[in-house]
Amino acid sequence: MSFLTYLLSGVSLGSIYALIALGYTMVYGISRMLNFAHGDVIMIGAFTLWTAASPSFFPGNPGLPTAVSILISILVCTLLGVLIEKIAYKPLRNASSLAVLITAIGVSYFLQNIALLIFGSDAKAFNSVVSFPGLEIGGMKISAETIVTITVGVLIMVGLSLFIKFSKQGKAMLAVSEDKGAAQLMGINVNSTISLTFAIGSALAAVAGILYCSVFPQVSPYTGAMPGIKAFVAAVFGGIGSIPGAMVGGILLGIIENLSKAYISTEMVDAIVFAVLILVLLVKPTGIMGKKMTEKV
């Protein structure tokens, strides 16, 4: 009984990691860069919604309806993602991947500190966007946020996979991820394809941010840092670059985390999660669902 409860709470935690990891893995899969600023885009998404929906921000305004606020948040993050890519990453297209990684860290610091200046350091109370009640099955409660998170996660996973497989832009993305030079020769506009990748990835970050802050109802300039790292781990777990892998990796991470909290130690939980990650990678060096790359000589 209690085992099932822990399992269930692990799945709800994991579904949030999965949602964040989807955006992470998508950007990595196409542009081959670890976007360390992804977590902070999540934070901006949550803050945008908080601003749009909060009555206190514009005096006399009751706050915009939830649906409109969500749209605004997605829009802002999409634009932000494209802007970041244009300003910070595009000039480094031909530099080493490490240089881009460091720039991403710079962007992450930038977003955190700009949010700190605008919104201040206090954690703001965030009101959940989910307003219907949860389910109760056999004495176990499933919160409405969990149901929404899992549904949205699965929808995004299926949607992204179909988009990449069947749409023209999606195929272009695949081509760019395989070989930028060859893709260009085939008439694919590499720059706009990568821009599109960042636009989609950042829109997903907005959705993830809104749901993350609905489940853990507060937002501060540093809200994105920890989920960013956790989602990175989840994405690697599942095989970074693989879209279904992010989903599986995220949920597994949540389950492992909660089971080790329950049965081993709440203090050692991060060590246990990382130890499992190392074991998985040693047995299967490209993650659970990652593609095996053959080595060229």
Q: Footprint of another protein on residues 123-152 (CB under 8 A)?
A: 123-127, 134, 141, 143
Q: Which stretch binds another protein (CB under 8 A): 96-104, 160-168, 173-181, 191-199?
A: 96-104
Q: Residues 215-233, buried b or exposed e (16+ Cβ, 10 A)?
A: beeebbbebbbebbebbbb
**Selected binder of another protein within 75, 105, 154, 186 (CB under 8 A):** 105
Q: Under a CB-based contact definition with an 8 Å cutoff, are residues 13 and 231 in contact?
A: no
Count, residues near another protein per rule CB under 8 A: 76
286 part of the interface to another protein, by CB under 8 A: yes
- Cβ-count burial of 181 within 10 angstroms (0-12 exposed, 13-18 middle, 19+ buried)? exposed
The H or E element that residue 124 is part of is strand 124-125
109 part of the interface to another protein, by CB under 8 A: yes
**Selected binder of another protein within 67, 137, 185, 282 (CB under 8 A):** 282
**Selected binder of another protein within 57, 106, 162, 179 (CB under 8 A):** 106
Residue 31 CB, nearest approach to another protein (Å): 13
Q: Which stretch binds another protein (CB under 8 A): 155-163, 173-181, 184-192, 270-278?
A: 270-278
Helix/strand/coil for 125: strand
63 part of the interface to another protein, by CB under 8 A: no
Residues facing residue 219 across a β-bridge = 124
Rounded distance, CA 270 to CA 210, Å?
25
Q: Under a CB-based contact definition with an 8 Å cutoff, are residues 248 and 241 in contact?
A: no
Q: Binders of another protein among 233-252, rule CB under 8 A?
A: 233, 236, 240
114 part of the interface to another protein, by CB under 8 A: yes
